[in-house]
Amino acid sequence: MKLATMTAHRGRILHCLRDPGEAGDLDAIDYFDDGVLLVDDGHIAAAGPSASLLPGLSESVKIIDHEGALLVPGFIDCHVHYPQVDVIASYGHQLLDWLNNYTYTEEARFAKEAVAQSAAGFFLDQLLCNGTTTAMVFATVHPHSVDAIFTAARQKNMRLAAGKVMMDRNCPVELQDTPQSAYVESRELLQRWHGQDRLHYAITPRFAPTSSDAQLSLAGHLAAEFPDVHVHTHLAENRDEVAWVAKLFPDSRSYVDVYKRAGLVRERAVFAHGLYLDDQDCVELASAGSSIAFCPGSNLFLGSGLFDLDRARESRIRVGLGTDIGGGTSFSLLRTMSEAYKALHLNEQSLPAVRGLFLATLGAAQALHMENSIGNFDIGKEADFLVLDGAPTALLERRIGRTQSISEELFAQMILGDDRSIAKTYLMGALAYSKEPVPP
Ligand code: GUN
Ligand code: ZN
């Protein structure tokens, strides 16, 4: 006999059907003021108005009434470093000095397995209390750092992509691998973890300056052997970095070309930042089906620059938001949307709230090529979703009280919200985090 596994979550339901664009096209979203999200065995069975869905439900279906709270798909962080939790808020440097002065030293601590295990647990708890249900994650150069994050994610049933950092030059010796060891260790990890439950492997050369030609080309070789794994790296984040890459790779036309020659510009390749690209780079990224993780919090904190979202959209490059912890300073994708709004404003662009939601949900799922599984409430997708608190602070309660539309309310959450706005986080229909204690 099949056990009753169906649950109806009643509340205000909001999700994106496609990219609302710069104009924030409201036809691109579905919103039900009194709605039901029907979850069957961890997957979406329906999302629609409660007046049409509730009457047809059998009595065995459990109904959870969220009392008018807003339910949205789980947030997806397209670029984040789990070993950099303790690097957040390190003072005063741009990228290259920040790496040398803080980041590499911290990542060297991950040589100890226990350090990696304890950081992995803390990190995933931070994701969940910030409403992040899927992430594309950098580990460190140590293979056990990948085992630690995958083991912890698997226990929580999170969808997560991660990989061992590959770097064989221009960084401290204790953090260096070799082209061969990086290839062999990445391949072993990939075979151990890729496709287990909700886990994906990502081939992860740190960035062009810390990999030799030989290492990049072996990374590309591995990518060719396993077309369905991700590639995850940094691209054109900082002016000094870009100048350094031009010196290190004099035969390449551009930074993108360095990765292209190695066979790393392809589908399922996620490039963090991409601030300094030319038109040809954009065409190449788009035609390859590669993606950019837009990390505005990090771009502002590290003084890296301003991302051109309009050009990425015109070029049809897949874009999702990333926090880039610890270059970024907040795990919250609501905060990250707020940073994106401000960074885009400085570039004479804008970010309507529904587009912010898109970049953290369906757009991010598309950027990770996971849109068949997650990103919105289409029937059959995995039921990762959030219950937002409409009054997480006195200020938000007051400000939301004066809003007159779902766009205005969402914009208030996006500009003023953070982890306090996340009341509950569900993974495949199961409660994974609750701000308030759950009665037994
Ligand atoms: N480029 C190379 N490594 C890093 C890193 O750890 N963080 C950021 N933001 N950029 C990088
Ligand atoms: Zn990064």
Q: From CA 392, how far away is CA 127, in angstroms rounded?
A: 18
Span from the CA of 365 to the centroid of ligand 2 (angstroms): 18
268 and 230 share one domain: yes
Which of 86, 110, 234, 299 has the most ligand 1 atoms within 8 A of CB, as the residue to mutate? Answer: 234
Query: Atom 3 of ligand 1 has which residue's CA nearest to it?
Result: 206
Q: Which residues contact 166 (CB under 8 A, 6 or more apart)?
A: 141, 177, 182, 186, 203, 204, 205, 206, 211, 215, 219
pLDDT, the chain, mean: 97
- Which ligand lies nearest to the CA atom of residue 167 in the structure? 1
Structure tokens at 125: 């708890």
105 and 232 share one domain: yes
Structure tokens at 79: 């670029």
Span from the CA of 362 to the centroid of ligand 1 (angstroms): 25
pLDDT in tens, 10-56: 999 999 999 999 999 999 999 999 999 999 999 999 999 999 999 99
Which of 367, 401, 420 corresponds to the end of one domain? 367
Give the dihedral sign, CA 375/376/380/384: positive
Is the distance from the beta carbon of residue 144 to the nearest atom of ligand 1 less than 6 Å? no
Span from the CA of 143 to the centroid of ligand 2 (angstroms): 18
- Residue 439 is assigned to a structural domain of this protein: no
Structure tokens at 303: 């003084």
180 and 37 share one domain: no
What would the mean pLDDT of 277-303 be, rounded to a whole number?
A: 98
Give the number of the atom of ligand 1 that is nearest the alpha carbon of residue 328: 9
- Residue 166 is assigned to a structural domain of this protein: yes
The H or E element spanning position 212 is none
pLDDT score recorded for residue 4 = 56
Give the number of the atom of ligand 1 that is nearest the alpha carbon of residue 302: 9
Span from the CA of 108 to the centroid of ligand 2 (angstroms): 16
Which of 367, 385, 416 corresponds to the end of one domain? 367
pLDDT in tens, 160-204: 999 999 999 999 999 999 999 999 999 999 999 999 999 999 999
- Residue 440 is assigned to a structural domain of this protein: no
Q: What range defines the domain where residue 244 resides?
A: 75-367
Triad 354, 357, 358: Cα angle to 5° = 90
Check whether the bond before 429 is cis (ω within 30° of 0).
no
pLDDT in tens, 318-372: 999 999 999 999 999 999 999 999 999 999 999 999 999 999 999 999 999 999 9
pLDDT in tens, 214-243: 999 999 999 999 999 999 999 999 999 999
| Residue 1 in this model has a pLDDT that exceeds 50 | no
- Residue with token string 């950081």: 119
What would the mean pLDDT of 59-82 be, rounded to a whole number?
A: 98
Structure tokens at 19: 């990219």
122 and 110 share one domain: yes
Triad 318, 30, 48: Cα angle to 5° = 130
Give me the residues paired with residue 211 across strands.
none
**Nearest residue to 139 (alpha-carbon basis) of 80, 86, 208:** 80
Q: From CA 383, how far away is CA 373, in angstroms rounded?
A: 9
386 and 292 share one domain: no
Is the distance from the beta carbon of residue 273 to the nearest atom of ligand 1 less than 6 Å? no
291 and 167 share one domain: yes
Q: Torsions phi, psi of 102, nearest 5? A: -125, -50
255 and 235 share one domain: yes
Give the number of the atom of ligand 1 that is nearest the alpha carbon of residue 81: 6
Which of 87, 103, 107 has the most ligand 1 atoms within 8 A of CB, as the residue to mutate? Answer: 103
Is the distance from the beta carbon of residue 209 to the nearest atom of ligand 1 less than 6 Å? no
147 and 264 share one domain: yes
Is the distance from the beta carbon of residue 99 to the nearest atom of ligand 1 less than 6 Å? yes
179-193 vs 143-156: helix crossing angle, rounded to 10: 20
Would the pTM of this model clear 0.75, i.e. be above it?
Answer: yes
399 and 288 share one domain: no
What would the mean pLDDT of 276-283 be, rounded to a whole number?
A: 98
Q: From CA 12, how far away is CA 28, in angstroms rounded?
A: 17
Decide if 375 contacts 298 (C-beta within 8 A): no
93 and 62 share one domain: no
Strand-strand pairing, 430-434 and 230-235: unpaired
Give the number of the atom of ligand 1 that is nearest the alpha carbon of residue 298: 9
Say how many domains are in the chain. 2
68 and 80 share one domain: no
